Structure 1
Amino acid sequence: MLHVVRVLAVFLVPAGANNEATGRPFDHGTHEQMWDRQLQVATGQDKENEKREVEREEFGHEGQGVAYTLLGISAFAMMTVYLVHWNDDDVRRYAWEVLSIAISTFTSLFGFRNIQTWLSYMLELEADSGATCVLAYLLFLIWFGLLHAVIGFSAGLLCSNIDESELEFEDWVVEDSLLTADKELVDPDRIVFKRWGRAIATDYDGFPIFCRHRNLAMELIEGRLRSWAVFMSHMTAFAASNAGVKLLHLPFFRDNAACSLPASLGNGEQLLAALRGRLAVVLHLLLEFLLFRTVEILSCRGKPDKMVDVFFDACDDVELDVLGLSASYLLSFVFAFAITGSQSNFEFYQRPSTISLTTAFEIFVIGLAFLALSTALVVMWKGRPNEPMWRTKVRELLQSALALVFSWCTLHAIRWTTVDLCKKHVISLLPASLVVLICCALTTSTVAFAVILPLDKIQDCVRHAGGSGRIFKQVIIALGVIVGVSWEPIFDMAVKVAAHEHAWPEQTRLILSMALVFILLPAWRRFVLSKQLGYAALRTERRSKTFLLKDQDVVMAEPSKIQDGRGCSLLR
């Protein structure tokens, strides 16, 4: 508009015209000077019109997306801050656990999907082909090997930089998160009072600082196992789930797995079809089980017994993670296939014509039923003293997998509901648009975090009931998986949008995604996981009363002081 006015001003004013006020001819000068003179002679109405033109706003889809993102993320961030600082220790612990599980799940799924997409692009494999299935299982085996290599390094068996003697000793360290010296060693001569593993020492200025007796070597090992090993176990679980989906997409299983519902077993052919569909899941889980059994034959001769025990305990934990996540994912995949009669891919994308609000409600009810079944299993099947190890593993695996089925079924229901609303033009956007994905993730995350408050009230009422702690732990894990997976498509789409205009979009997408993963992982380990582990350790110590085994009241003699050359008092 402004350029049009400038051009008209140049052509409408004659070249030899005189200025009426001065009698001198016009000096056209530059376009900017001409525009300034036009503004000077403009009327008040013209100025008002120009002002309206400059301040005019256009509300498009892009502006709506920015507005929804800004308002939604700000509200969600503030709600999270309130929960992690709630006036209740259990609420804080639940909030940190959900946040930690969500970040680890999101990061591992985001990294795996982009690596798998890049490999498929580089190898130029066709979808649903035998070669794609072979590649998926090869990736699963690679991640499985890397997982146990990371566990060996984290436990101190591979390339260990931890002395064996350090595993048996505890040191006095600063325990004050407000100080930069937090977790630094304290000279025992500075301690003036100690009891039950806690102490009060003084710094160079005589200011009191709180200390604690801690085994730093074991805490380093535990920190590695709870960060890198958990991240790799989730990557391996998603690789296993992807391999199972590729197996179900093979023609032998794809054409028959739709008859998995019991109601469809009307004759021998349908029974055979259903057995084929379930056979793929059984074969896949059997392969995972056998792979973990091969790890048990590893020999760790010459290594410290404590490190070896930590290694095999961590292997048992990651086995539950991998088998629980992959088994629950494949079960929800089969249920979705049976309800709609159409297979989805690994990202839950399904043909819109096969889904509706009714199918979304059905799969959500199935998820609730499995959550109730997991709760009943915790209450009815309790551990016994000196029970065999295999019995403990089976019980914990069933409890974990059944609870996680609820997570995947809920995610299916959310995705199907969104697609159906977009299909019916209730939402005037595409289901895969960033605005829709952000709104879904914000709504899902808000509901998941809001559930923490009633969960805390319920736990207070049934605190003394047997197995209640295990039940709430499974629910918290399920909520964390829901939150983490709901945010992954948003960042995946954002990376795709940022990379599509580059000369090598696939390589750029991989680089951006890996950069995001390597930024998030250290931050998660340092600022989120440390809080989760701290609250878990405090709860365990409070319930087990292990602090009573520490030393009793001891009042130390006042430390001797010396004067340095600058006159500052220092403690020996």
Structure 2
Amino acid sequence: MASWPLVRAVLACAILVPVLAEEEESSPVAIAISVMLMGSIGFQMLMFYLVNWPDRDIQRYSWQVISQTISIFCAVLLFQGCNGMVEEKLIKGSSELVEVGIDMAQMIFWLVCMQVVLAITSGALNEWLGAVDDMEKVELNVKSWSVLFSHVAGFAAINAWGSLQQKFLNANPWQALLVVPLGSAGLFLLYHIFDLIREKIAHMDDGEKDEYEEKWDEETEEAENDVAGLCMSFLTVQAIRFGISGFMPNQEGIEPWAVAISHSPHQCHLLIGSGLIFFILTLAMLNLTRIWEVPERLDRLIDILNNYLTFGLSWCLFYGVRWRICATHFTHENALLMVAIALFLSGVSFLFIFVLDKGVNVTEPNRMPATCFMDGLAGDMQVEDNHLFGEDSEIAEGATEKMITGLGILIGFSWEQSFDTAVDVVAEGLRHDCPPTISKMLMSICLVVIVFPAWRIYILPTERELSEETTEEGAEKAVLKEYAKQHFDLFLHGQTDESDLDRAHLLMKRHRRAAHGIKHPGSHMPQLKHLMVTSSGIVEVDAPEEHRNKGEKKKKKNAGHKKDLSVSLLG
């Protein structure tokens, strides 16, 4: 119920702006921009709160959602711009069979591009292209391009198999659903061919796979799994929408305006309920993989099914909310409607992050005052505290990760839809100066050129750093960074006592050794002693035995790879 005031606020703003602008006869673009300007301030401030929240889990989930949102946004804009040119230059005026063939060729083109780009960025082709950077940089490069091209190829696959669904399998919902097994078989055949080619290339030089070629194969298979899950889930939801409403949406999931505003609350609830079924099946899959040792040959199938169910949840929630908001008839302008939907879904999704985490403990002594409103928001709905996803921590963590991925797709696709509508309107307004398809492609490319580097340089590394804190090595480094920050603050503070600075420096050396697994110098040099002059005399500090005992205590305390960062350097 906490989300309904946000709904009313968004709809009130959306209604108020056109009323105030009636005298000036504002265009749909002006109205949409006005609503976006008002909503963007609150939306940006909400993101600042979330990414700087004292709870590290909240920070991690927030950065994951933001990263997923930006990657989906860039991928869809890039594909839509290129696909518009293909439809205008190659498909327009062609027969249905030719249209399907061209769409299939476009899908194969993007899949091949994905293979080539990942081969280059992973360093698998370093024999031909020269030396590559260290593996840490390689992983960041290949991950960024993998996410972008997997989503672009995924929407190309949606367009290709959706074309087949629209032209030849549109008689009834069951026939529309038939494209899912057909598309899965087609993609698996392509994946098998690509796998044979990768193996051939990997063994061309020395007959063995090096670490870069292994990385290429691993990241490419993961990207291919995303393509299959994204595509097949969308086509499934298309058939579900057809079955619920009796009308088949187009390849992009768009319905005529008269149909879009005619859905009943019952139909909206059925579609959202279908999304909950996808989520329940996701939990079932997580439990199945926990209690049943999956054969290695089925690992990839399980990954694709997990992606399929996660994406299916996102599509159902997106279109269910869209149906419900359209049914309110609060506006007749599509541009304004898309902006309102994007703002609403963004606000609800970010607030839902708190439900997925236990939040900040009320009894925590150093909690920030700003966390007080969370106590009423989360209440008894805290997932981790009440074991909503089961007693097993791996199941709870896996379910949370799936929900976070789904929320990222939800927000990303909603904002892309609003920007795509705005780009269409602007392109139509520039019709006399530039063909709409060209202007739309240019605007899409410009947006991607601006957004993608920022995501690659700033957002993705932050997300990966926070995600690595769930591992043992990453958790040790996170604690070390917190100690280093306190060490820095002690030196900046003019009132810090000199003895405290000395002691803090000694402790920082100890924590650094623990984080990097470095042995104490005294462990192999018994004659070396670390002495400190105090008011009571000269004492030995940080002896090897003292370091070893404290290190063992710390490891026991921090078991489970999830460390509490509320540590004190001098405490």
Counterpart residue type for residue 344 of structure 2: T
Preserved contact between residue 76 and residue 152 of structure 2 (Cα < 8 Å): yes
Aligned to 1:449: 350
What's the offset of the Cα at 1:230? 1.2
Mapped partners of 2:331, 2:446: distance in 1? 34
Match runs of 1:363-512 below 5 Å: 363-382=271-290, 387-422=294-329, 427-430=330-333, 432=334, 434-457=335-358, 458-461=382-385, 462=387, 465-500=393-428, 501=430, 502-512=433-443
Aligned to 1:280: 179
1:118 aligns with 2:85: yes
What's the offset of the Cα at 1:523? 0.8
Preserved contact between residue 128 and residue 249 of structure 1 (Cα < 8 Å): no
Aligned to 1:323: 228
Distance 1:450 1:347, change over 3 A: same
Mapped partners of 1:355, 1:456: distance in 2? 34
Mapped partners of 1:80, 1:535: distance in 2? 16
> Which secondary structure does the structure 1 equivalent of 2:134 belong to?
helix
Q: For each residue in 1:236-271, what CA deviation from the matched residue of structure 2 results, as whole angstroms up to 9, or x when unmatched?
A: 1111111111111124x112x33x2xxxxxxxxxxx
Distance 1:161 1:445, change over 3 A: farther
1:241 aligns with 2:158: yes
Mapped partners of 1:489, 1:278: distance in 2? 24
Counterpart residue type for residue 267 of structure 2: T
1:289 aligns with 2:206: no
1:95 aligns with 2:62: yes
Aligned to 2:38: 71
Counterpart residue type for residue 254 of structure 1: N
Q: Which residue, 447, 453, 465 being the options, matches 1:522?
A: 453
Distance 1:65 1:384, change over 3 A: closer
> Which secondary structure does the structure 2 equivalent of 1:296 belong to?
helix
Counterpart residue type for residue 493 of structure 1: T
Distance 1:163 1:469, change over 3 A: farther
Q: Which moved more, 1:319-328 or 1:533-542?
A: 533-542
Preserved contact between residue 118 and residue 510 of structure 1 (Cα < 8 Å): yes
Distance 1:146 1:495, change over 3 A: same
Q: Which moved more, 1:107-116 or 1:126-135?
A: 126-135
Match runs of 1:207-226 below 5 Å: 217-226=134-143
Mapped partners of 2:357, 2:270: distance in 1? 28
Mapped partners of 1:507, 1:343: distance in 2? 29
Mapped partners of 1:135, 1:494: distance in 2? 27
Q: Which residue, 235, 239, 243 being the options, matches 1:338?
A: 243
Preserved contact between residue 112 and residue 238 of structure 1 (Cα < 8 Å): yes
Aligned to 2:219: 314
Distance 1:528 1:466, change over 3 A: closer
Aligned to 2:101: 134
Preserved contact between residue 109 and residue 234 of structure 1 (Cα < 8 Å): yes
Counterpart residue type for residue 195 of structure 2: E
Q: For each residue in 1:477-509, what CA deviation from the matched residue of structure 2 results, as whole angstroms up to 9, or x when unmatched?
A: 000000000011221122223333223232122
Distance 1:131 1:452, change over 3 A: same
Aligned to 1:82: 49
After TM superposition, the runs of 4+ consecutive aligned structure 1 residues lying more than 4 A away are: 56-66, 159-164, 542-549, 554-557
Counterpart residue type for residue 234 of structure 2: Y
Structure 2: stretches of 5+ with no match in the other structure: 1-20, 359-381, 478-513, 529-571
Mapped partners of 2:161, 2:64: distance in 1? 29
> Which secondary structure does the structure 1 equivalent of 2:327 belong to?
helix
Mapped partners of 2:436, 2:292: distance in 1? 56
Distance 1:394 1:513, change over 3 A: same
Mapped partners of 2:25, 2:291: distance in 1? 59
Mapped partners of 1:130, 1:108: distance in 2? 27
Match runs of 1:171-250 below 5 Å: 217-250=134-167
> Which secondary structure does the structure 1 equivalent of 2:61 belong to?
helix
What's the offset of the Cα at 1:428? 3.6
Select the structure of larger CA radius of gyration.
1
Distance 1:552 1:505, change over 3 A: same
1:535 aligns with 2:466: yes
Q: How big is the alpha-carbon RMSD for the aligned residues of Structure 1 and Structure 2? A: 2.8
> Which secondary structure does the structure 1 equivalent of 2:54 belong to?
coil
Preserved contact between residue 338 and residue 421 of structure 2 (Cα < 8 Å): no
Mapped partners of 1:143, 1:383: distance in 2? 38
Mapped partners of 2:336, 2:165: distance in 1? 32
Q: For each residue in 1:25-53, what CA deviation from the matched residue of structure 2 results, as whole angstroms up to 9, or x when unmatched?
A: xxxxxxxxxxxxxxxxxxxxxxxxxxxxx
Counterpart residue type for residue 94 of structure 1: Y
> Which secondary structure does the structure 1 equivalent of 2:518 belong to?
coil
Higher helix share: 2
> Which secondary structure does the structure 2 equivalent of 1:297 belong to?
helix
Distance 1:128 1:410, change over 3 A: farther
Preserved contact between residue 179 and residue 235 of structure 2 (Cα < 8 Å): no
Preserved contact between residue 383 and residue 392 of structure 1 (Cα < 8 Å): no
Aligned to 1:107: 74
Mapped partners of 2:263, 2:74: distance in 1? 29
Preserved contact between residue 324 and residue 400 of structure 1 (Cα < 8 Å): yes
Aligned to 1:305: 210
Preserved contact between residue 153 and residue 160 of structure 1 (Cα < 8 Å): no
Preserved contact between residue 70 and residue 412 of structure 2 (Cα < 8 Å): yes
Structure 1: stretches of 5+ with no match in the other structure: 1-55, 167-215, 261-275, 558-572
Preserved contact between residue 119 and residue 125 of structure 2 (Cα < 8 Å): yes
What's the offset of the Cα at 1:383? 6.7
Counterpart residue type for residue 540 of structure 1: T
Counterpart residue type for residue 415 of structure 2: W
What's the offset of the Cα at 1:452? 0.5
Distance 1:520 1:81, change over 3 A: same
Preserved contact between residue 128 and residue 250 of structure 1 (Cα < 8 Å): no
> Which secondary structure does the structure 2 equivalent of 1:552 belong to?
coil
Q: For each residue in 1:259-309, what CA deviation from the matched residue of structure 2 results, as whole angstroms up to 9, or x when unmatched?
A: x2xxxxxxxxxxxxxxx4433221111110111112222311226611121
Determine what percentage of the aligned residue pairs are the same residue: 25
Aligned to 1:254: 170
What's the offset of the Cα at 1:78? 0.3
Mapped partners of 1:540, 1:160: distance in 2? 33
Mapped partners of 2:35, 2:341: distance in 1? 11
What's the offset of the Cα at 1:516? 1.1
